[in-house]
């Protein structure tokens, strides 16, 4: 049992801190997804991190990654949050799916661009008629000689507006039902027939879009894994997306908590005894989440376990939404009156129990796949 | 980072589980509060506890122990909680650790390690912290104990009859007059050593709560798989599945917190370990009650009776939560901390 850094981890952490001291200031402000300028600044930050060697830590070195254990992703996210830096690029789930399933040729062709942040990727899963029931999706990729022809519509696609490529889950085997008929393709977003329309989030963030595919031609060489393997790859990917490593959740929550405690300590925010106790309760939650995520990362050892990812996401959601309730209450009337920051943050916390599979879907996964309860 | 039990610790867990199950099976839960055995272990049970080395392993070698890590001890405590073992192992281990921290003579600690002398820890009247004086203080997990020592005076106090206590697996007894035992020469520990003792205690209670909630959840899952309504196992209904899934999340989070707290006692300075242990105990206290309440809910009507064991875990969750401070107590301390130290 050792929750502390081993010498290599400590060395990595020290190097990262030194790099942040020298480079963070020029990137600290103005990132986000609220405007074209903030998106450009966000992508510039991602490229700077990649150039410094901090993207794709747990991905193979042969394709532009760094071949490190998963705990390094946790150290990265923790240090970024502690330093007040913007988050790392949310691409771990996509990169692992490609690295673990794609052909050598495809990996060599696309992973360096993804991990170098030279190219931006999005994930084309949800559809208007296929949200929680993902296996019911209807976008088709029809085999036609050495290419697939894609038709259909994706929705809630983060970053689609400025993406170069899309990892697309589509129906390639019309004769096979639901899960069995799906495949995963790498689609060039600049292809003829791809059309994006922005969707503004309730919080004001402009990272969502719906994507229309109208006879889009995709080379057969862009198939990830084999035909019919799409569902398996998608579940592998979701396990990473739901898991703790890739999203930098814990660090971000730690920062929100630290700011709230600082506000209370300095008296900038008036908190009665009841609120202070609730803040302490949230502090306990965030700290437990931190140790839980450390345990998940240390135990994952390169693979990913889909159901364990669901446990982590359920815990994270519970902790995050409770924290934001306390933070909202600490804000008092300024939660709803004046600058929209606190309310927008709160709205975004409500998304946590929806994206990547709703809280209800995650509970079903845990109940049926971890606890072995019977399906109805 | 390396955050799982070692192969040796897993083997120890299994052997602890076997004996704990055996000890629990010898205890009669009865058909109602009028008809259960007291938690005092019989001579045979107690000698099996002593022979297993459970009372000795945590003490330092010069005191007749094996110098086991706190992680090892929490492996034991988790299994004791899982089987709701009534024998007062944690009480004896905590009393011995307290005396070791106060630099008790090795001969006395050896007696404790060998089970010849049976002591219980003395807590304040609110059951929150180790007692500083005998007045109004209470010995916890004191079934069969001869006395409880107040370290500040070195006096061993005799114990009165067990008070009514929600948890039938453990006895709480008031401290009385000095017992026949000679006064013990003790020297007060430093601040860090006292903080470490607090962390040690909270880590063990956290692990006991972890075992308790895991047992309740496992039993509820079993029940949900087999109990049929509307022609199907109730575990196939989403409402029931969601309750149990949330329980599993709380159990796993508590396990992470428990590992961290135990590791911290072994690896970090006392004050840091104490903070980690407060976090773990606060989280475990509220989570254990929530999970055990869910288990009672899944059992339905029978969960409200002495025909099912669910209430035993709920009782142990509530008392384990209260003893050495519940979540409100520890969160209160954390709220008053300088946030820069978080």
Question: What is the ipTM metric for this complex?
Answer: 0.96
Nearest Cα residue in chain B from A264: B339
Residue B78 pLDDT > 80: yes
| B43 Rama sector, left if φ>0, alpha if ψ -120 to 50, beta otherwise | alpha
Residue B276 pLDDT > 70: yes
Which pLDDT tens digit goes with each residue over B176-194? 999 999 999 999 999 999 9
Q: Do domains A121-228 and A243-370 have the same CATH topology?
A: no
How many angstroms from the chain centroid is the CA of residue B278?
15
Chain B contact set for A265 (CB, 8 A): 338-340
Domain A121-228 bears CATH identifier 2.40.110.10 = yes
Which pLDDT tens digit goes with each residue over B191-246? 999 999 999 999 999 999 999 999 999 999 999 999 999 999 999 999 999 999 99
Q: What fold characterizes domain A7-89?
A: Butyryl-Coa Dehydrogenase, subunit A; domain 1 (1.10.540)
Helix (H) or strand (E) holding A185: strand A182-188
Residue B340 pLDDT > 50: no
Residue B94 pLDDT > 90: yes
Which residues of B, range 269-298, sit inside 8 Å of A by Cβ?
Answer: 279-280, 282-283
Residue B341 pLDDT > 60: no
CA distance A277 to chain B (A): 6
Nearest Cα residue in chain A from B244: A367
Spot the catalytic one: A37, A241, A287, A320.
A241
pLDDT at A238: 87
Nearest to B335 among A71, A258, A276 (CB): A276
pLDDT band at B338 (very low <50, low <70, confident <90, very high): low
**Distance in angstroms (rounded) separating the CA atoms of residues B307 and B291:** 20
**Distance in angstroms (rounded) separating the CA atoms of residues A335 and A344:** 9
pLDDT at A340: 82
CB contact under 8 A, B280 and A288: yes
**Distance in angstroms (rounded) separating the CA atoms of residues B171 and B315:** 13
Nearest Cα residue in chain B from A359: B242
Contact present, A184 and A234 (Cβ < 8 Å): yes
pLDDT at B342: 38
CA distance B140 to chain A (A): 26
Nearest to B221 among A291, A292, A371 (CB): A371
Look up the pTM and report it: 0.95
Q: Which residues contact B309 (CB under 8 A, 6 or more apart)?
A: B29, B84, B219
Share of chain A above pLDDT 70, in %: 97
A243-370: which CATH number, 1.20.140.10, 1.10.3720.10, 3.40.50.300, 3.40.50.880? 1.20.140.10
Chain B contact set for A298 (CB, 8 A): 1-4
B334 reaches A (C-beta below 8 A): yes
Give chain B's domains with CATH numbers. Answer: 7-178 (1.10.540.10), 191-341 (1.20.140.10)
pLDDT at A82: 87
Helix (H) or strand (E) holding A202: none
Which pLDDT tens digit goes with each residue over A45-83? 999 999 999 999 999 999 999 999 989 998 999 899 889
Residue A178 pLDDT > 80: yes
CB contact under 8 A, B252 and A372: no
Chain A contact set for B256 (CB, 8 A): 288, 291-292, 294-295
Chain A contact set for B4 (CB, 8 A): 1, 295, 298-299
CB contact under 8 A, A277 and B259: no
Residue A248 pLDDT > 80: no
Backbone phi, psi, residue A223, to 5°: -75, 130
DSSP string, A35-64: SHHHHHHHHHHHHHHHHTT-SSTTS-GGGT
Query: What is the mean predicted confidence (pLDDT) over B65-94?
Result: 97
Q: Which structure tokens are listed for A257?
A: 């908590």
Query: What is the mean predicted confidence (pLDDT) over A295-304?
Result: 70
**Distance in angstroms (rounded) separating the CA atoms of residues A365 and B214:** 19
pLDDT band at B37 (very low <50, low <70, confident <90, very high): very high
CB contact under 8 A, B262 and A1: yes
Backbone phi, psi, residue A336, to 5°: -115, -10
Largest CA distance in chain A: 70
pLDDT at A245: 57
Q: Provide the number of CB pairs (under 8 Å) joining chain A to chain B.
A: 158
| A372 Rama sector, left if φ>0, alpha if ψ -120 to 50, beta otherwise | left
CA distance B37 to chain A (A): 34
Annotated domain spans of chain A: 7-89, 121-228, 243-370
B260 reaches A (C-beta below 8 A): yes
Residue A24 pLDDT > 90: yes
Which pLDDT tens digit goes with each residue over A223-239? 999 999 999 999 999 88
Contact present, B246 and B293 (Cβ < 8 Å): no
Contact present, B238 and B264 (Cβ < 8 Å): no
pLDDT at A300: 67
With CA atoms as reference, report the closest residue to B39 among B21, B52, B27: B27
pLDDT at B109: 97
Query: What is the mean predicted confidence (pLDDT) over B5-25?
Result: 97
pLDDT at A244: 65
């Amino acid at each position: 049992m050792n929750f502390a850094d081993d010498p290599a981890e400590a060395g990595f952490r020290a190097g990262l801190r030194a790099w942040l001291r020298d480079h963070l200031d020029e990137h600290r402000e103005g990132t986000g997804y609220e405007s074209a300028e903030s998106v450009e600044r966000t992508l510039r930050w991602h490229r700077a991190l990649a150039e410094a060697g901090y993207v794709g830590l747990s991905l193979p070195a042969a394709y532009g990654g760094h071949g490190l254990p998963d705990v390094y992703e946790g150290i990265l996210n923790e240090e970024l949050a502690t330093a007040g830096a913007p988050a790392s690029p949310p691409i771990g789930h996509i990169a692992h799916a490609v690295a673990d399933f794609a052909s050598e040729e495809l990996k060599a062709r696309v992973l360096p661009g993804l991990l170098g942040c030279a190219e931006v990727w999005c994930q084309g899963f949800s559809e208007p008629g296929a949200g929680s029931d993902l296996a019911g999706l209807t976008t088709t990729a029809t085999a036609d000689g050495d290419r697939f022809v894609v038709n259909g519509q994706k929705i809630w696609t983060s970053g689609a507006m400025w993406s170069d490529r899309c990892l697309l889950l589509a129906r390639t085997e019309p004769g096979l039902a639901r899960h069995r008929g799906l495949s995963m393709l790498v689609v060039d977003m600049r292809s003829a027939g791809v059309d994006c329309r922005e969707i503004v989030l309730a919080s004001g963030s402009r990272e969502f879009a719906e994507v229309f595919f109208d006879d889009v031609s995709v080379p057969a060489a862009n198939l990830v894994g084999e035909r019919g393997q799409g569902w398996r790859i998608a579940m592998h990917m979701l396990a990473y997306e739901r898991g703790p490593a890739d999203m930098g959740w814990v660090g971000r929550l730690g920062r929100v908590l630290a700011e709230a405690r600082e506000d209370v300590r300095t008296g900038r925010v008036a908190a009665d005894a009841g609120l202070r106790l609730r803040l302490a309760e949230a502090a306990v939650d965030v700290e437990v989440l931190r140790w839980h995520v450390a345990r998940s990362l240390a135990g994952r050892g390169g693979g990913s376990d889909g159901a364990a990812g669901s446990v982590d996401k359920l815990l994270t959601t519970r902790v995050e939404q409770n924290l934001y309730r306390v933070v909202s209450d600490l804000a008092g009337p300024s939660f709803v009156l004046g600058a929209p920051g606190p309310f927008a943050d709160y709205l975004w916390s409500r998304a946590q129990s929806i994206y990547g599979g709703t809280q209800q879907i995650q509970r079903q996964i845990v109940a049926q796949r971890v606890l072995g309860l019977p399906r109805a | 980072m390396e955050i799982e039990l070692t192969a040796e610790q897993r083997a120890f867990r299994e052997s602890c589980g076997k004996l704990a199950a055996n000890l629990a099976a010898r205890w009669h839960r009865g058909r109602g509060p009028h008809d259960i055995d007291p938690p005092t272990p019989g001579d045979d049970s107690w000698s099996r506890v002593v022979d297993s080395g459970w009372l000795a392993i945590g003490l330092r070698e010069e005191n007749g122990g094996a110098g086991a890590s706190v992680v090892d001890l929490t492996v034991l405590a988790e299994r004791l909680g899982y089987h709701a073992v009534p024998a007062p192992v944690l009480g004896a281990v905590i009393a011995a650790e307290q005396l070791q921290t106060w630099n008790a003579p090795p001969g006395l600690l050896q007696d404790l390690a060998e089970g010849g002398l049976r002591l219980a820890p003395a807590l304040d009247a609110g059951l929150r912290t180790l007692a500083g004086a005998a007045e109004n203080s209470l010995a916890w997990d004191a079934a069969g104990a001869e006395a409880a020592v107040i370290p500040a005076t070195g006096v061993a106090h005799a114990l009165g009859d067990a008070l009514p206590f929600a948890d039938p697996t453990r006895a709480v007894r008031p401290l009385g007059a000095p017992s026949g035992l000679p006064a013990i020469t003790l020297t007060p520990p430093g601040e860090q050593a006292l903080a470490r003792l607090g962390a040690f205690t909270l880590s063990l209670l956290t692990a006991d709560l972890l075992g308790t909630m895991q047992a309740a959840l496992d039993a509820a899952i079993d029940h949900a798989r087999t109990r049929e309504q509307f022609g199907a196992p109730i575990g196939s209904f989403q409402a029931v599945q969601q309750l149990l899934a949330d329980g599993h999340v709380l159990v796993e989070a508590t396990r992470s917190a428990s590992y961290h707290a135990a590791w911290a006692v072994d690896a970090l300075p006392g004050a840091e370990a104490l903070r980690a242990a407060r976090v773990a105990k606060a989280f475990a206290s509220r989570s254990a009650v929530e999970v055990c309440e869910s288990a009672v809910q899944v059992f339905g009507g029978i969960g409200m009776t002495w025909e099912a064991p669910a209430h035993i875990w709920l009782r142990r969750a509530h008392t384990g939560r209260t003893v050495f401070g519940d979540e409100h107590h520890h969160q209160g301390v954390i709220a008053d901390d300088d946030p820069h130290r978080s």
